[in-house]
Amino acid sequence: MIGQANAQVAHPDRLFIGGRWIPVEGSARFTVTNPATEEAFGEVVAAGAPEVERAVAAARKAFDEGPWPRMSAAERATYMRALSQALQRRGAALDSAWISQVGVPIWMAQGSGAGTAGLLDYYAGLAEAYPFEDVRPSNGMMSKVAVVVREPVGVVAAIAPWNGPLASLLIKLAPALATGCTVILKPAPETPLEAFMLAEAAEEAGFPEGVINLLPADREASDLLIRHPGVDKVAFTGSTEVGLHIAQVCAGRMARFTMELGGKSAAIVLDDFEPEAMGPALAPMITLLCGQVCINFSRVLVPRARKDAYVESLAAAMAATSIGDPLDANTMMGPLAMARHHAKVSSYFDKGVAEGARIATGGRRPPALNSGYYVEPTVFADATNDMAIAQEEIFGPVTAVIPYDSVEEAIAIANDSQFGLSGGVYTHDTDRAYGVARRIRTGHFTQNGRDFDLTNPFGGFKKSGVGREGGPEGIEPFTEVKTVFLPQAPSVLA
């Protein structure tokens, strides 16, 4: 069994910048707290303004003068595979870090570190085959050939959230490295350990100086990073509120950005999916990681004729979810990640009731768990789509059941949201499922579940984000397109 003891880093008192572990000028530290016990178990240094300047300068020099952007894709792929191997050797520690910082149950965390490292291998393979140069005919007056090239966008600030620290960093780092970008890793203050281990692995893999840099920072220093003229692109995962701020800053200086933001995903249950099957099928899609997953189903739309049966089935399945110690193999749902988030999620219980919804199950701290940021899986019945519990991202194990009278109405309800990240439909008819999927304004959709595969594109419509991560589409945002007109193809491409 894995535990907190493995969640250690080699240099908690230093930052990896320019290929070296350097001391910081200030005294600020980030305390790492276990949400299952509410106990602090470590701390790491926090970057300030001087470290922001040093990290950007190192990444800038590595991009402008260093070998990394000028290597072949195959040469970069060799480094990426070495980084993957170095991370896989830290697999148990990475798993433990996720449990200790976020409260992820062991069944979900075990093997995740080594598995997530596979994103580096995937993008290494894509880099070797990717058409960075495309020779096309030209109808210009002075040329016969146009070479359309994709070149690296430059210095990338990769900003990760606290709920999925390693995956959120790697899905930015891997395609950025594949294209020849240099990267500044900015983990969330609450979950810095994976980024430190990633920097250790980069050192072990022998990356050129400044290609990968570590910058754990608070809001003030992070704002300096996104405003810095030496940063060419910001890749961000997090809340819509912060994403809108970053987008405004980047737009003000024409910096590139991609964002994966919030969601309020609806599961549409069609009339051929029986109530007794619906609850067990849907509950895990709401309680995964204690609801702290942007694609979880936080709205459930059911046929009005049997709405009570659907509510009863879902409430029973949610109530049966085992809650407790993340290190217990029988635990299906651990705690929320932090005290302030526990307060936020809990505030919606009274808010939903005040708006006229009914709590069918949950709505409180589990009576047997007096410590830790625990909350019961919660189902609101008698909800309408204009309620705060149906419109605002709660980011907890909470869902609102909303009845509908026709599939047309269900589609309209699902689309009546500022978000457009994910969604699903529960039916045994794949043709009906695909028909519904094509009419829902989201970037991610699944029949009878909620699938997730970062070898395919992932991202959202509307306020759920800009751009896509994952798959071959994940490479494009880390490139700029250049067209070179020539009288004939260069010999290297002939």
How many Å apart are CA 352 and CA 359, to the nearest integer? 8
Within 180-238, residue ranges assigned H as helices are 193-205, 219-227
Q: What share of the chain is helix, strand, coil (3-state, %, to 5)?
A: 40, 20, 40
For residues 139 and 366, the answer to whether their CB atoms sit within 8 Å is no
User: Pairing mode, if any, of strands 182-186 and 212-214?
Assistant: parallel
Cα-Cα end-to-end distance for the chain? 57
Check residue 94 and give its pLDDT.
96
**pLDDT digit string, tens, across residues 369-418:** 999 999 999 999 999 999 999 999 999 999 999 999 999 999 999 999 99
Q: Which helix (H) or strand (E) holds 74?
A: helix 73-88
For residues 289 and 163, the answer to whether their CB atoms sit within 8 Å is yes
Structure tokens, 187: 């983990």
Residue bearing tokens 């961000």: 236
Check residue 141 and give its pLDDT.
87
Structure tokens, 64: 């402008």
> Where does the chain hold its CATH 3.40.605.10 domain(s)?
4-261+464-485
Rounded to an integer, what is the distance from CA 164 to the centroid of its chain? 6
Residue-level length of the chain: 494
CATH number for the domain formed by residue range(s) 265-453: 3.40.309.10
The backbone torsions φ and ψ at residue 272, rounded to the nearest 5 degrees and listed phi first, read -90, 0
Closest CA to 127 of 136, 115, 137, 119: 119
For residues 184 and 158, the answer to whether their CB atoms sit within 8 Å is yes
How many Å apart are CA 285 and CA 448, to the nearest integer? 10
What CATH fold (topology level) applies to the domain 4-261+464-485?
A: Aldehyde Dehydrogenase; Chain A, domain 1 (3.40.605)
Per-residue pLDDT of the chain (494 residues; tens, 9 = 90+): 233 433 479 999 999 999 999 999 999 999 999 999 999 999 999 999 999 999 999 999 999 999 999 999 999 999 999 999 999 999 999 999 999 999 999 999 999 999 999 999 999 999 999 999 999 999 988 899 999 999 999 999 999 999 999 999 999 999 999 999 999 999 999 999 999 999 999 999 999 999 999 999 999 999 999 999 999 999 999 999 999 999 999 999 999 999 999 999 999 999 999 999 999 999 999 999 999 999 999 999 999 999 999 999 999 999 999 999 999 999 999 999 999 999 999 999 999 999 999 999 999 999 999 999 999 999 999 999 999 999 999 999 999 999 999 999 999 999 999 999 999 999 999 999 999 999 999 999 999 999 999 999 999 999 999 999 999 999 999 999 999 999 999 999 98
Check residue 292 and give its pLDDT.
97
Which residues are CB-neighbours of 421 under 8 A, at least 6 positions away?
Answer: 260, 261, 262, 263, 264, 265, 294, 295, 442, 443, 444, 459, 460, 461, 464, 465
- Please report, for residues 26, 118, 378, 398, the alpha-carbon distance to residue 375 in angstroms, rounded to integers and kept in the order given: 37, 33, 8, 10
Residue 36 has, within 13 A of its CA and on its CB side, a CA count of 22
Closest CA to 215 of 42, 79, 97, 50: 50
How many Å apart are CA 194 and CA 185, to the nearest integer? 11
Which residues are CB-neighbours of 6 under 8 A, at least 6 positions away?
Answer: 92, 93, 95, 96, 97
Structure tokens, 346: 């809990």
Active-site annotation holder among 190, 194, 200, 260 = 260
Kindly state the DSSP code that residue 47 receives in the 8-state scheme: B
How many Å apart are CA 336 and CA 275, to the nearest integer? 29
Angle of helix 73-88 relative to helix 165-179, nearest 10 degrees, comes to 160
Which regions of 108-246 does DSSP assign to beta strands (E)? Answer: 133-137, 145-152, 155-159, 182-186, 212-214, 233-237
Any catalytic annotation for residue 194? no
Check residue 494 and give its pLDDT.
80
> Where does the chain hold its CATH 3.40.309.10 domain(s)?
265-453
How many Å apart are CA 465 and CA 421, to the nearest integer? 8
